[in-house]
Structures are given as structure tokens and as C-alpha cells.
Amino acid sequence: MEIAFGPVPSRRLGRSLGINNIPPKHCSYSCVYCQAGPTDAQEIAPRAFYPPETIFREVSQRLEAVRARGEKVDYLTFVPDGEPALDVRLAAAIDALRPLGLPIAVISNASLIWRAEVRDALGRADWVSVKVDSVSETTWRRINRPHPDLKLPGILDGIRSFARSFAGTLASETMLLAGINDSPAELTNLGRFLRDAGIARAYLAIPHRPPAVAGVHGPDEAAITCAHQIFHDLGLEVELLTAYEGDAFAFSGDLRRDILAITAVHPLRESALRALADKAGGDMTLIQVLLADGDLKAVDYAGETFYVRRPTGPDA
Ligand code: SF4
């Protein structure tokens, strides 16, 4: 498994070099909309995965390779196929990356933020996103399908506490799901929590990629606009993440490596895959080989074809 991938175009962070610090798919949640499929290993006790020095080596080598090709990198972002704070050495990994001189982001589901050591690790980053899909116990369980030992009130308290002490930028991300968390009452309660917690910017997203559970999808444009208005009226800085992030994936010189690294965490639309292949001379033969070998899988979703990496086991 590739620890460093991209840079990929991020709607919030510009060109983000991704760090996959957790093997697929260890997570405390098993969200119905997860693009990485169902959670194989649901766990909540932070433990060791990759050594910080390995993460540093992989990230610095990747950075060097993409910069040699003139690619720009704006952020180093922990965004694995799972929860980044499950890595007990996340703080050490962030510290190890500091000499690279780039801002560091962590995209977390916030489920472990009730732990002081997790707040300490996240607090070392420059930009942190916490996932809050609902503040209602029933809806939280329905969407995020949490580990049975997790408790929503403790998570919400942890977010409040983290927001009070964090010196960087704290964003939230909410996945809007039709008929599940898009009612005005749900969104008003959620928006009040985010505002009172002191979230700098609340992002509203919809599933853009094939979800773990068939039939889950985002609301229509009218409901998305309504959600935005509710948050806005509560005084939140709110942005929609409902636009496709573009096809500007980086090409490091090794097309096979790039495709497998990106699709491990980020299913690619056909247009994005073609754009990447064009940078390597436009030959699509390699994609056919990856499909025939079972390394890639084509998935139809919302009228488009996506290419995703075939799962190869929980610790692959
Ligand atoms: S969406 Fe994120 S938090 Fe939810 S199951 Fe997938 S990896 Fe875990």
C-alpha cells in the first residue's frame, strides 16, 4: 500500500499530497456513504501502524518526485482509508513532517476526540476537519454506524474542548443524505452545535463516489440550498462541497503507481483517468491491463463510470 499519494485536487486545500497513515480499512465508524466500502476492522483504541520515520521517508520522496515534474503542493494531508487518529503515533508523524515546511492538515471523523491524547495529536496540525453528520443519537447511529463503545455526547464535548484550545483552522464536514439528515430540524440542531462550538467553517458535502451501502445518495439541489441557508442564517461560515473537484491529478512519471495509489483512497471518474493517461502519452492499454488483472474495478454510479482499487485484505 502506498503511504503517500497525489497530490490530488482538494476542494478545501488546493493541491493536497495525501498521507494514508492507516491500512485499509481500520475505522471507528462504518459510514453508509463511505467510498472505501464497509469497515473490515472496527476499532477505537489507538495503536501503532507505520513508523513516523517511514511516513516521513515516503512523503519526502513523493514530494521530491512530484516537484521534479513541476507539480505544486499546497498541503500535506492525513486522509487515510480509515480514521487517522487511530494511529497512536500521529503526533510524532506530524512532528516528523514539519521540516518539509508545508502546512499539515488532518481530516478526522472526530470519533476519538474525547481522548486527550487525540486532541493533543490533532492540535499539532495547521488545519483540522471534524466530521459531524448529525447531533441526534438515532441519526448518528444510522449514518456513521459507530463502534458500539462510542458515545455521541462525549464526542461532541471533545469537539467543543478541542475548538477552545486549537490554534489552527478548525473546519467541519457534514455529508448530506437524502431522507436521513437533511430535514430542517436536524440541520438546525447541527448548525447550532457547530456555531456554539466555534467551528471556523462548516462544509456541506454530498456523496460523489460509490457509497458502501447501495441506495444512499445526496439530496436534490433544493434541499442542499435549504441546508446552506439554515447554516448561514445561524451565523456559520458555510460552504458547499457539492462540485466535482476537477481532473487535475498529478502525474509523477509512473502511471501504474499513480493510478493504484490514487484509486486506493479516491475513486477516479473516467474523465480523470483519461486526463492522467494523457499526461503519460494517452495510452489506455495499462488501464485495460489493470482491469483484466483485477487491480482496478469499474463501478457505475449516478450515470458515470468510476475506477476503484480492488480491496486486497485489511492490512494490504
Ligand atoms: S467515511 Fe471515513 S469515517 Fe466513515 S467509515 Fe469511511 S473512513 Fe471511516
> What is the phi-psi region of residue 131: left when phi exceeds 0, alpha when psi lies from -120 to 50, beta otherwise?
beta
Q: What is the pLDDT of residue 262?
A: 78
Say if ligand 1 is within 6 A of residue 34 CB.
yes
d(CA 89, CA 62): 21
CA 84 to centroid of ligand 1, rounded, Å: 10
Say if ligand 1 is within 6 A of residue 212 CB.
no
Q: Given ligand 1 and candidates 39, 111, 174, which is best to mutate, with the most ligand atoms within 8 Å of its CB? A: 39
CA 147 to centroid of ligand 1, rounded, Å: 12
Say if ligand 1 is within 6 A of residue 36 CB.
yes
Say if ligand 1 is within 6 A of residue 83 CB.
yes
List C-alpha distances in Å: 60 to 18, 56, 261, 266, 273.
12, 6, 16, 21, 25
Q: Which pTM value belongs to this model?
A: 0.84
Say if ligand 1 is within 6 A of residue 27 CB.
yes
CA 67 to centroid of ligand 1, rounded, Å: 30
Q: What is the pLDDT along the chain (316 residues), one digit of tens a residue?
A: 789 999 998 878 999 999 999 998 899 999 999 988 889 889 999 999 999 999 999 999 999 999 999 999 999 999 988 999 999 999 999 999 999 999 999 999 999 999 999 999 999 999 999 999 999 999 999 999 999 999 999 999 999 999 999 999 999 999 999 999 999 999 999 999 999 999 989 999 988 888 889 899 998 888 888 888 899 999 999 988 876 555 556 667 788 888 887 776 556 888 888 888 888 887 788 888 999 998 888 877 667 788 877 544 322 2
Is the separation of the CB atoms in 305 and 270 below 8 Å?
yes
Q: Which fold has domain 4-253?
A: TIM Barrel (3.20.20)
d(CA 83, CA 193): 22
Q: What is the pLDDT of residue 316?
A: 25
d(CA 172, CA 167): 15
DSSP 50-101: S-HHHHHHHHHHHHHHHHHTT----EEEE--SS-GGGBTTHHHHHHHHGGG-
Say if ligand 1 is within 6 A of residue 30 CB.
yes
